[in-house]
C-alpha cells in the first residue's frame, strides 16, 4: 500500500515542482504587464488575473483538458492529461504570484529608485540588483502560503483522471475498504508541506539582509 502511494507521489511532486518553477517567473512577467503604462495591456492582464482568481482551479482544469474537443473538435489522448494539469496550474498560480509581486514592488519606496539613478544604474540594473531582492524579502511570506496551498491543490488533478497520491489513496481505500490509505496520504502531505515551510523559512532568513529598517 505504502509503495503504491509513493508511486502516486511521483505525479504530485512533478505537478508541484514544474508549477512552482514555471509560475514564479511567469508571475513576475504578468505583474509587469499589470503595472504597464499602456492601458490595453494593463486591462487585459487585470481581466486575466480576475478570471484566474475568481473561478475554481478545478473548473480551469476541466476547461484546459476538455476545452480543445468541446470547442474545436480536437481529440486529445490520455497523454495530454499531465500537460493539461501543468498548463492549468501554471496559468492559475502565475496570476496569484503576479499580484503578490505587484504588491511587493509597489511597496518599495520611490527613494530606492532615485538613489540607484543617482549612482548611475539603468532601469533594468536598478530593478534586478536593488529592487528585486527587497521585493523577494517582502513577499516571501505570501509566496510561502501559496506554495503550501499548491502542495494540497495537486490533489485536484484527480478531476481529469490523472493518478497522483490522493487518487491512489482513494483507489486503495475503495479496494481494501479501509481508512489507512487516507491516513498515510495525509501523513505524506504533511511531511511534504513541513519540508516546504522549512525551506521557505530558511529562504526568508537568507533574504533578511535586504530588510529595510
One DSSP character per residue, 36-101 reads -SSHHHHHHHHHHHHHHHHS-HHHHHHHHHHHHHHHH-----TTHHHHHHHHHHHHHHHHHHHHHH
Q: What is the CATH number of the domain that holds 189?
A: 1.10.3720.10
Q: How far apart are the C-alpha atoms of 122 and 120, rounded to whole Å?
A: 7
Number of domains in the chain: 1
Domain residues for the domain of 13 are 2-210
Q: What tens digit of pLDDT does each residue of 70-82 get?
A: 888 888 888 899 9
Q: Which of 97, 85, 79, 77 is nearest to 29 (CA)?
A: 97
Quote the pTM value.
Answer: 0.89
Predicted confidence band at 128 (pLDDT cuts at 50, 70, 90)? confident
Residue 38 has a pLDDT of 94
* CB burial of residue 172 (10 Å; 0-12, 13-18, 19+): buried
Amino acid at each position: 500500500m505504502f509503495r503504491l502511494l509513493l508511486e502516486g507521489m511521483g505525479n504530485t511532486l512533478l505537478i508541484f515542482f514544474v508549477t512552482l518553477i514555471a509560475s514564479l517567473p511567469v508571475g513576475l512577467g504578468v505583474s509587469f504587464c499589470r503595472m504597464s503604462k499602456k492601458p490595453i495591456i494593463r486591462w487585459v492582464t487585470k481581466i486575466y488575473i480576475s478570471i484566474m482568481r475568481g473561478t475554481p482551479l478545478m473548473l480551469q482544469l476541466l476547461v484546459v483538458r476538455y476545452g480543445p474537443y468541446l470547442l474545436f473538435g480536437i481529440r486529445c489522448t490520455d497523454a495530454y492529461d499531465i500537460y493539461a494539469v501543468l498548463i492549468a496550474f501554471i496559468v492559475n498560480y502565475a496570476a496569484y504570484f503576479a499580484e503578490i509581486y505587484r504588491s511587493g514592488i509597489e511597496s518599495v519606496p520611490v527613494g530606492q529608485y532615485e538613489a540607484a539613478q543617482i549612482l548611475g544604474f539603468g532601469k533594468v540594473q536598478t530593478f534586478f540588483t536593488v529592487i528585486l531582492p527587497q521585493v523577494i524579502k517582502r513577499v516571501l511570506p505570501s509566496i510561502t502560503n501559496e506554495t503550501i496551498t499548491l502542495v494540497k491543490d495537486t490533489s485536484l488533478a484527480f478531476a481529469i483522471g490523472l493518478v497522483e497520491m490522493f487518487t491512489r489513496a482513494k483507489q486503495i481505500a475503495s479496494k481494501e475498504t479501509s481508512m489507512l490509505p487516507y491516513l498515510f496520504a495525509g501523513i505524506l502531505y504533511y511531511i511534504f508541506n513541513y519540508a516546504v515551510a522549512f525551506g521557505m523559512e530558511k529562504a526568508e532568513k537568507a533574504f533578511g539582509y535586504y530588510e529595510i529598517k
